[in-house]
């Protein structure tokens, strides 16, 4: 893991209220936690190949992490909910530029329907509707950056 990737993780933590992140690769452990002042505290421990992994203690976060719900939240419109982004990243409506969109206005979705892809740190994450209904409107353009909790699709409940 290089410094650029660590900085991206820290930025992701700042934007998404993530309080702790741990990573291990090729004998190197990295753990990032929010310190008492809200700034990330980075701890890295080289792990010898012959010994069991040991993590150095790191300052605990100042507040317990908030419960994260990926389910759409109810709105003031009766029978209409919004599918929100569960992460920060780049929004894609289809698997490739040549493919048709996963979901567009009029598409019927179930809780397990893949509706889009969000790319985060070079990883393509398929996002499921987690609700049942009909897509009324796509609220984000293809290739646009999205924030945690940003509304992606407007859905009419069945």
pLDDT tens string 24-33? 777 677 777 7
Instruction: Give me the torsion for CA of 9, 10, 12, 15, rounded to 10°.
Output: 180
The string of pLDDT tens digits covering residues 31-78 is: 777 665 555 445 444 444 444 444 444 444 444 444 444 444 444 578
Asked if pLDDT for residue 12 goes beyond 80, the answer is: no
Find the domain containing 106 and state its range. 73-157
What is the tally of structural domains in the chain? 2
Asked if pLDDT for residue 158 goes beyond 90, the answer is: no
> Sign of torsion, CA 129 120 144 16?
positive
The predicted structure's pLDDT at residue 8: 78
The string of pLDDT tens digits covering residues 115-138 is: 999 999 888 899 999 889 999 999
The predicted structure's pLDDT at residue 52: 47
Residues 1 and 61 both lie in one domain: yes
Residues 39 and 110 both lie in one domain: no
The predicted structure's pLDDT at residue 1: 63
Out of 51-60, 88-97, 99-108, pick the least confident.
51-60
Q: How many CB atoms lie within 10 A of CB 65?
A: 11
Q: 12: which 2 tokens?
A: 């992701």
Residues 107 and 37 both lie in one domain: no
Asked if pLDDT for residue 154 goes beyond 50, the answer is: yes
Residues 63 and 77 both lie in one domain: no
Whole-angstrom Cα distance, residue 67 to residue 46? Answer: 32
Residues 29 and 99 both lie in one domain: no
Query: Which is nearest to 55 in space by CA: 33, 40, 36?
Result: 33
Asked if pLDDT for residue 152 goes beyond 70, the answer is: yes
Q: 67: which 2 tokens?
A: 């419960």
The predicted structure's pLDDT at residue 35: 60
Whole-angstrom Cα distance, residue 45 to residue 52? Answer: 12
């Amino acid at each position: 893991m290089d410094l650029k990737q660590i900085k991206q993780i820290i930025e992701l933590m700042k934007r998404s209220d993530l309080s702790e992140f741990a990573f291990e690769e090729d004998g190197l452990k990295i753990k990032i936690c929010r310190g008492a002042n809200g700034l990330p505290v980075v701890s890295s421990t080289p792990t010898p190949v012959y010994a069991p992994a040991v993590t150095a203690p790191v300052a605990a976060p100042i507040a317990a992490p908030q419960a994260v719900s990926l389910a759409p939240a109810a709105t003031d419109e009766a029978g209409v909910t919004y599918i929100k982004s569960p992460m920060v990243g780049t929004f894609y409506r289809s698997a490739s530029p040549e493919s048709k969109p996963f979901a567009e206005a009029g598409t019927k979705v179930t809780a397990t329907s893949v509706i889009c892809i969000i790319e985060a740190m070079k990883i393509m994450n398929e996002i499921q509707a987690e609700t049942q209904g009909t897509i009324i409107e796509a609220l984000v353009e293809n290739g646009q950056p999205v924030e945690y909790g940003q509304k992606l699709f407007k859905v009419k409940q069945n």
